[in-house]
Amino acid sequence: MVWEQLLANRPLLAGLLALWLAQFLKVPIDYWVNRRWNWNMWFSMGGMPSSHAALMVATTLAVGLYYGFDHPVFALGVAITMVVLYDAAGVRRQAGVHAQKLNVLLQELFSGQPISQERLKEMLGHTPRQVAVGSVLGALIALGMWWLWR
């Protein structure tokens, strides 16, 4: 019964499909840019497109499409989506920039010495373009699923 309810939740399915597709697309897009396969992009928090943006925009838009844009849950979804998109392109991106700078600093401080330091994760956030592309991807997934299932 729970599985039936989950599979009938179209906004959830739209969001999960958008998340999966965004994560899937990171590998070939990264190859196109860097000319090397990096399968770790499949599990990366950063990169093009933003799976956070795709998930949130698809879910929120699907709620509006299926339950109405005047529904309180849609308003809540818009508010949460705005926070997630700001965080993905703002706060988390700056944390990634700081990690890059600290890694350079550590490398300079400890070069030539047998001290092993764990590098900080640099791909934490997204550029505004990555967030925009993820948002468009999420909107297209939600609209496509709504069109197919209406």
Sequence ranges of the domains in the chain: 2-149
| The pair of three-digit structure tokens given for residue 78, joined into one six-digit string | 């818009």
The tokens describing 128, both together, are: 């505004």
- 113 pLDDT above the threshold of 60: no
pTM of the predicted structure, to 2 decimals: 0.70
What is the arithmetic mean of pLDDT over 99-122? 63
CA distance 27 to 116: 29
Which has more pLDDT, 87 or 94? 87
